[in-house]
Amino acid sequence: MIKTGIGQDSHRFDFEDQTKELKLAGVIFDSAPPLQGNSDADVVLHALCNAISGVTGINILGAITDNLCLKHGITDSRIYVQEALKFLKEWRLTHVSCSIECQTPQITPKIPDMKMSLSELLGLETQDIGITATTGEGLTAFGRGEGIQVFCIVTAIQKNFITTPPICHKSQSYL
Give the binding site for Zn ion (CB under 5 A): 9, 46
Select 23 or 110, whichever has its Cβ closest to Zn ion: 23
Residues ≥6 apart with Cβ < 8 Å to 119: 125, 126, 129
Select 9 or 83, whichever has its Cβ closest to Zn ion: 9
- Residue 139: exposure state from Cβ atoms within 10 A (0-12, 13-18, ≥19): exposed
Minimum distance from residue 45 beta carbon to Zn ion (Å): 8
Minimum distance from residue 46 beta carbon to Zn ion (Å): 3
Select 12 or 92, whichever has its Cβ closest to Zn ion: 12
Select 46 or 115, whichever has its Cβ closest to Zn ion: 46
Minimum distance from residue 143 beta carbon to Zn ion (Å): 19
Letter string b/e over residues 61-100, b meaning 16 or more CB atoms within 10 A of that residue's CB: beebbeebbeeeebbbbbbbbebbbeebeebebebbbbbb
Minimum distance from residue 160 beta carbon to Zn ion (Å): 34
Which residue's Cβ lies closest to Zn ion?
46
